[in-house]
Chain A
Amino acid sequence: GAVVSQHPSWVICKSGTSVKIECRSLDFQATTMFWYRQFPKQSLMLMATSNEGSKATYEQGVEKDKFLINHASLTLSTLTVTSAHPEDSSFYICSARDGAGQGAGWGNQPQHFGDGTRLSIL
């Protein structure tokens, strides 16, 4: 159980293009999903927390107009990198916790990760 699917796994596109990445929880509901960015040989950096039915919460230094997040249902969150440039090239990973709500047990569930999306902007 607790499978998170991320699509696409690899994107190559020209500078100035907008790219949408999908994150789905396949066998559970998740009111909250997380988007991370990882540079080569570095750890995961949290970009934003995606909240179903409300605005995402962005970490300090992350441009919300650049990285648009939509969490329209309990099983799907999308990250759109708008007008992407070469410096946006990175590995983007989403995660989700098993739990439709934020009850007492939710905080004790580990985050499960999608397989990531490698974004290359030419």
Chain B
Amino acid sequence: EDKVVQSPLSLVVHEGDTVTLNCSYEVTNFRSLLWYKQEKKAPTFLFMLTSSGIEKKSGRLSSILDKKELFSILNITATQTGDSAVYLCAVGPSGNTGKLIFGQGTTLQVKP
């Protein structure tokens, strides 16, 4: 059965801290791994990773994929209270179904 597992499930840090969120997966045919940020409404897209070892970066956020060990990490440096959200990892199996399998999410709370 295809599955995506995120850890930790929740995390509380203080502003300025650096956090690392983990996502491991087991899917029959892997195509891409995506990270989303969800605040009160629907998820907003952060990164899409398809190749191992290539870091994607956007401001204080960065992510990398390891296709051999079947995991990805999302790093947030110098955290701010606005980073508080649920971070979702999703994996897209190959083929044209377009289906995504989501992990449980990591709830991040950044305290002032």
A residues contacting B by CB (< 8 A) are 6, 32, 34, 41-46, 49, 57, 93, 95, 97, 102, 106-108, 110-116
Contact = CB atoms under 8 A, between A and B. Distances in A.
Given A43-B105, A44-B43, A110 B99 contact: no
B60 interface: no
Nearest to A33: B98
A93 B43 CA distance: 9
24 contacts: A34-B98, A43-B105, A46-B102, A49-B99, A93-B42, A95-B42, A97-B98, A107-B31, A107-B32, A107-B94, A107-B98, A108-B32, A108-B48, A110-B34, A110-B45, A111-B34, A111-B45, A111-B98, A113-B36, A113-B44, A113-B45, A114-B42, A115-B41, A116-B42
B interface residue count range (under 10 / 10 to 19 / 20 to 34 / 35 or more): 20 to 34
Given A97-B98, A106-B96, A43 B103 contact: yes
B104 A43 contact: yes
Contact of A43 (B45, B95, B102): B102
Given A32-B98, A43-B105, A115 B48 contact: no
Chain A interface SS verdict (over half): strand
A75 to B, nearest CB: 16
B32 A46 contact: no
Contact of B43 (A97, A108, A113): A113
Nearest to A57: B97
Nearest to B104: A43
Given A44-B90, A107-B32, 12 more contacts: A6-B42, A41-B107, A43-B102, A44-B43, A44-B88, A46-B101, A46-B102, A57-B97, A93-B42, A107-B96, A114-B42, A115-B42
Contacts of A113: 36, 42-45
Contacts of B102: 43-46
A42 B98 contact: no
Nearest to A4: B42
Nearest to A36: B102
